[in-house]
Amino acid sequence: MNIEVKNKKLKAWIQEVADMCTPKDIYICNGSNEEYDQMIKLLLDSGIAIPLKKRKNSFLFRSDPSDVARVEDNTYISTPDQIEAGPTNNWIAPDDLKKTMKDLYKGCMKGRTMYVIPFSMGPIGSPIAKIGIEISDSPYVVVNMHIMTRVSDRVLELLGTDGDFIPCLHSIGAPLEPGQEDSKWPCAPIEKKYISHFPNENLIWSYGSGYGGNALLGKKCLALRIASAMARRESWMAEHMLILRLTSPEGKQYHIAAAFPSACGKTNLAMMQPSIPGWKCECVGDDIAWMKIGPDGRLYAINPENGFFGVAPGTSYETNPMAMDTLKENCIFTNCALTDEGDVWWEGMDGDPPKHAIDWKGNDWTPESDSVAAHANARFTAPAAQCPVICEDWEKPEGVPIDIFIFGGRRSSVVPLVTEAYSWDHGVFLGSTAASETTAANIGSVGNLRRDPFAMKPFCGYNMGDYFQHWFNMGGKLGDKAPRIFYVNWFRKSEEGKFLWPGFSDNSRVLKWMCERVEGSVGAEETPIGLIPKEGDLDVNGVDMPSDDLKELLKIDSEAWKAEIPDIEHHLSTFGDRLPDKLKKQLDEFKKRLG
C-alpha cells in the first residue's frame, strides 16, 4: 500500500477484501490532480480512453453494449425481513445475497489493481456530510469518483483511528489470467451483475458493471438508497432533488428543492436562466439534496455531490446553455459519438449533425445511418465548480435554507401548470402520488402513467410506506418553519398535441409566483386539487401566448381527476398496512373536495 492507513476498521476491511478478491496490487487514492492524470494515462495506454482534441483535458469512453445503464432488475435492498424493503424494491435475504456475492468476489480482481478511494459526500467536514470508502478494480471508476465526489487523503485524516465510514465494494467482475489481453470495457455478463445494498449495515456491494450508478457507488447507491435509510434513523432527509437559488430584483434570496422523475427537465431547471428581467438563478445541485434541521429550526440543504453526471442526448445551447458551457474542459464523456474533428456529438446537440462520425459502438456513422450516433443514456461527468451559474454558497458546510419544495411529472393532460399544497400533509399526498407519462428514458411503454412517489421509487432504501411517514414526521418537527410545497407540470398539451407552456427559461415565471406566495404578496384560487394562481397573478409579460392557452394550462377538470382516483387508490394500496393514516385522510379529503 502506498499510504499508511491508520483507521483500524478500514485497515481490517482492506485486508478482508484483498484476501477475498486477490488483486495483484493495492493502491490508496489521495485525490490529487497528479493521481487523476496518472489514471487517465493508464486508461489512454490501454486504449480505453480516447482524448478529445477539441476539449481540453477531456476524454471519451465506450462501454460494452451490455453495460449502458443502471441495472434496476439486478438492484437489491437486502434487509432481514422483506417487509422492511417494501413493495418497490427487489429483495434477497442478507445471508443468501452475501453468499452469492462472496462466491462471485472470490479472485475477481486477479491481475488487476485494487483501488481504495476515500471520499466525502458533501464538503469535507460539513455537519451534513458523510464519509465513504469505495474499493474498486476500475481506473475509470477512480477518475469519475474524482469528479463526482471529494476524493482526498484529508478524508483519511478526518477518519482518524476509529472514525466511521460507509464501505462500498465494487468489482467489474473480470479477473485477468497471466498474459491474457484485457478487453476495452471489461465487465461481467448481465446475469452476474449485482448492485446490493444492506441498509441495516450501511453497506454497498456491487459486482459486474463498470457503468454509471452501478459502479460510482457515491451516486445513487450511497447518496440515496443507503442515505435515505440513514436519514430516517437520524431524522434528516436524503432526496432525489435539484437545489437552486432564485434572487429577486430586490435582492431577496429563495432556495428551492425540486424532485422530478427522469425526462422532466431537472438539470435544465437547476441551471435555468430566468426570462423575467431582474431575477437571477444559481445552481446549488442538479440531482441530490441532503437536508438537516438547523439550529434556527429551518431545513438546510447541501448538494452531497461534487460534479454533474448528466444525460448528454438532448442537452444543447437551446435547452441548457449553462450545462453546455460547463462541458468545455476537464470532462469525461461516455457512449457519445466521436467526430472526425476530435469532438463529441450526440442527438439533440445544436447545429447540423456531422457528415461522418464514429458511433458509441465504434462503428462508422452518417446522418443516413439507421442507428443513433450516441446511446440514449450517453453521459457527461463534469466538475460542478465549472458551471457558470454555480452558486457561491454551493459548498457552504451548513447548507442553504430551503423555502420551497416542488414535485412534478410529465403529463399531457389533467394536471395544471402549477398547484400549491393546502398544507404540509397535503404536500406529502401530492409527492406520494406524483406520476409521469413514460418516455424512452423510463421503464415501460411510452405514454403509460407511472407513479413515481417523490421521484424516489428506484432510490428509496427501505419500505416507501415508512418513507411517507418519515416525511410526515419531518413536517411535524419543522412545524411553521417547513418549506411550502408546490406541484408543477410543464408538459400539458393542446388537443392538437402542441405544448401549451414554453418551458425552459420561462419556468422562472412559475417560480416567481411561488416566491410571491411565500411572501404573501399574491393570493390564490382554491380548487379541489390545491391552490392555483389567480387571473393576472402569473407574470407572462413578454410571452407570446394566447390567453386561452393560459386558461387551459390552469384548468381543473374535476371529472378527469375523479377518473384518476382508482389509479391513485391502487398505487397507495400497494403499501398495505405501512401506508400512513395521514395519507388515507388526505385521499378522503381529496375525494370530498372533488364532490
The set of catalytic residues is: 264
Residue 34's φ and ψ, nearest 5 degrees, are -60, -40
Q: Where are the alpha helices (DSSP H) in 433-557?
A: 464-478, 507-519, 547-553
593 burial type by CB count under 10 A (0-12 exposed, 13-18 middle, 19+ buried): middle
Closest CA to 79 of 365, 399, 490, 466: 466
d(CA 350, CA 373): 15
At 149 the three-state DSSP class reads coil
At 502 the three-state DSSP class reads coil
d(CA 428, CA 469): 9
d(CA 149, CA 29): 13
d(CA 31, CA 116): 11
**DSSP secondary-structure letter at 385?**
G
Distances (CA, A) of 131 to 5, 92, 329: 15, 26, 28
Beta strands, E only, 519-564: 525-527, 530-532
- Residues of the chain by 3-state class (helix, strand, coil), percent to 5: 30, 20, 45
Residue type, 557: D
**407: its cell numbers:** 414535485
Q: 236 with 292: CB under 8 angstroms?
A: yes
β-pairing, 379-383 vs 307-311, is antiparallel
d(CA 131, CA 112): 25
Q: 291 with 482: CB under 8 angstroms?
A: no
**558: its cell numbers:** 374535476
Would you give the distance in Å from CA 199 to the centre of its chain? 19
**Torsion of Cα atoms, 408 then 409 then 411 then 417, to 10°:** 20
Would you give the distance in Å from CA 353 to the centre of its chain? 29
DSSP H/E element including 160: none
Handedness of CA 363, 369, 375, 378 (dihedral sign): positive
Would you give the distance in Å from CA 529 to the centre of its chain? 28
d(CA 460, CA 467): 8
Bridge partners, 405 (sequence order): 257, 485
β-pairing, 59-61 vs 332-334, is parallel
DSSP H/E element including 55: none
Orientation angle between helical segments 464-478 and 424-432, nearest 10 degrees: 160
**380: its cell numbers:** 457527461
